[in-house]
Structure 1
Amino acid sequence: MTPASAPSPPPSPPPAPPASLPVRVLTLADLTACLDLAAEHGWAREEHKWRLLLTAGRGVGIDAPDRPGTLLATLVLTSYGETHRCIGMVLVAARFARRGVGRHLMRHALDSCGGAAVFLTATANGRPLYERLGFAPVGTVTTLRGTFTGAAPAPAPAGTVLRAATAADIPAILAYDRPVFGADRTELLTRLPAFADQILVAHAPGGRLTGYAAAWPNETTTVIGPALADDQPTARALVARLAAAAPMPVRFDVDPRHPGLADWLRANGLTGDYVCTLMVRGAPDLPGDIDRRFAPLSVALG
């Protein structure tokens, strides 16, 4: 006789109505729970990045009613002065997907934003929710990864000097970043020296800052970002120098509004076709100057 098959596990009980689920602020004490929820979605356990997000931004979450000590959902809201907010790391446990939990958490975050413009980077799964909440697509970003070969050189413009940044460069970096990024991210960038493995600055003859870029470790890759520069040749030179020194394969999130940049990265060994959508609510476009903004610090931070 064939033994009876084991009964299927019962489905997770539906949570309380989404609007009644309490939302609370997340701290570093919730780091493991955040990593566990990300891993459930197939994401890497990006502890280094999550530490920055939970300290430089405001993480909020919902405790799982069926599994004490775990999280049902997360979201990180990062403020840039009074004018802009960025939303990232919107995650809902798969067993409670499509029950209004993500919408409830997003509404909670948006209610705290006042009149500030809000932007985010949406996956294909998340985009329909964000559109229903009033976000509009304004562009895309493609994630490329690989070992940087240097096969396609990127010389700096004549007279430009690239060097490692020091503490004395921070005021100039902040002054350069503000109009290019389009909002005040002092709170975030002052943490960059402790977060990044490398920060480079570019100077024109006479000492004027013409760009800066950073590289930071993220599990199995070295992420290059932010990268801001007066022009693409300077940006490429900064990226090439950082990538050549990276101890792991490189990740770069490239915006197609920079013609030729993705082709140059691919010629240097990076590959990938994972595309996300840049979306904005309360403004016609992302802040700042796209002609000089070549890479975000992270897609979760802009």
Structure 2
Amino acid sequence: MKHDSFSNGSASATSLRYRKFTPADVSAAHVLSMALGWPYRPEDWQFSAETAIAFVAEERGVVIGTAMCWKFGADRASLGHVIVSSAHQGRGIGRKLMEIVLEELGPRITFLHATPAGRPLYEKLGFSVCGSLEQHQGNAGKPLPVELLDGERLRTGIPADFPGLVELASRAAGLERHALLSAVLERGESVVLERDDEITGFSVLRRFGRGHVIGPVVALRSRDDARAKALIGYWLTGREGEFIRIDVPSETGLSDWLSEQGLQRVDICSKMVLNGPAHEHIDAPDPVCRLYALVSQAML
């Protein structure tokens, strides 16, 4: 998409227009998300806007809808933050925002996570279900001890680790993650799991919403997912009572364990794909390296 403003295609609603998201729209987007009960802070919207290609629907100078997308390499993408003010729903604004985003993305294989309310629209646009995601959150309890595998240790991540962490995350997600993961690593705190100077996993904690979010969590597969649990438990230790969120693919099987840590499952949503057969995207992309928790539902 090369233009900053787009026609709504309706002569009867000339005050409605679609345009690129600008930094000045962060406050309006924050108002929209608060009305829906999303716990986003203005800083969270700012981070999304800095890493995404984004659009708004505007009427009489007021932002009434948003949509964002993220490109990963030459042929993959995700989208999210599709919001329309409740006072303006039923006018096709959400669909138009989606069409603008999808035109921007072209033939890329594109993923999103859909709420039950949003899923019918996405199905009409050609998306198919290829998995599910479980949102866990709550005030952390005293974490259960996790025993590290023989010879492995946890340490704080440093900038010199970042290229290797990005490579590991790209492998686990099946996506080229350099730009987004570099921004996440610079914004948050990271912990690395290693054996004999070889990195076997990492996780990131950053401020988000009502407290902190853990993600991504990436690790080589292990018995009982011990590596992933150690990388999550590291951030829970000493944070009893603090609000923590984590979004995990359902197939990881971490839900019961997370609940035991005080992070209850509060939502489950469908993972959907466009421009690719759903059955090809149900299984994890790599048989050895796994994505146990996402950066976010929108950013994957």
- Alignment TM-score, normalising by the size of structure 1: 0.87
Q: 1:16 to 1:185 in 2, by over 3 A?
A: farther
Structure of larger gyration radius: 1
**Structure 1 position 258, deviation (Å):** 1.5
Residue correspondence of structure 1 range 151-230 to structure 2 within 5 A? 151-196=143-188, 198-204=189-195, 206-230=196-220
Specify the SS of the correspondent of 2:286: coil
Specify the SS of the correspondent of 1:156: coil
Q: Are 1:130 and 2:122 an aligned pair?
A: yes
Q: 1:19 to 1:228 in 2, by over 3 A?
A: farther
- 1:170-201 CA-partner distances (Å, limit 9, x unpaired): 111122122111111111111123321x2111
| Structure-1 separation of matches of 2:49 and 2:138 | 28
Contact map agreement 1:183 1:288 (CA 8 A) in 2: no
With 15-24 and 261-270 compared, the bigger mean Cα shift is at 15-24
Q: Are 1:22 and 2:22 an aligned pair?
A: no
Residue 243 of structure 2 is matched in structure 1 by 249
Q: Are 1:235 and 2:235 an aligned pair?
A: no
Q: 1:92 to 1:17 in 2, by over 3 A?
A: farther
Contact map agreement 1:150 1:240 (CA 8 A) in 2: no
The partner residue of 2:100 within 108, 123, 135 is 108
Contact map agreement 2:15 2:59 (CA 8 A) in 1: no
Q: Counterpart amino acid of 1:253?
A: D
**Structure 1 position 151, deviation (Å):** 4.4
**Structure 1 position 294, deviation (Å):** 0.5
Residue correspondence of structure 1 range 36-75 to structure 2 within 5 A? 36-65=31-60, 68=61, 70-75=62-67
Specify the SS of the correspondent of 2:176: coil
Specify the SS of the correspondent of 2:163: helix
Q: Counterpart amino acid of 1:257?
A: E
Q: Counterpart amino acid of 1:83?
A: D
| Structure-1 separation of matches of 2:83 and 2:132 | 20
**Structure 1 position 168, deviation (Å):** 0.5
Specify the SS of the correspondent of 1:44: coil
Q: List alignment gaps of at least 5 residues for structure 1.
A: 1-14
- 1:126-163 CA-partner distances (Å, limit 9, x unpaired): 01000000001111112111222244222221111111
Contact map agreement 1:52 1:195 (CA 8 A) in 2: no
Identity of aligned residues (%): 28
| Structure-2 separation of matches of 1:266 and 1:41 | 25
Residue 264 of structure 2 is matched in structure 1 by 271
Contact map agreement 1:152 1:264 (CA 8 A) in 2: no
Q: 1:107 to 1:20 in 2, by over 3 A?
A: farther
Q: Counterpart amino acid of 1:222?
A: H
Higher strand share: 2
RMSD between aligned residues: 2.1
Specify the SS of the correspondent of 2:140: coil
Q: List alignment gaps of at least 5 residues for structure 2.
A: 1-9
Residue 110 of structure 2 is matched in structure 1 by 118
**Structure 1 position 254, deviation (Å):** 2.3
Q: Counterpart amino acid of 1:249?
A: F
| Structure-1 separation of matches of 2:159 and 2:53 | 26
The partner residue of 1:296 within 281, 294, 300 is 294
Kindly tell me the number of residue pairs found equivalent between the two proteins. Answer: 282
Specify the SS of the correspondent of 1:257: helix
Residue 144 of structure 1 is matched in structure 2 by 136
Contact map agreement 1:18 1:101 (CA 8 A) in 2: no
**Structure 1 position 169, deviation (Å):** 0.3
Q: Counterpart amino acid of 1:62?
A: A
Moved >4 Å (runs of 4+): 15-21
**Structure 1 position 288, deviation (Å):** 3.1
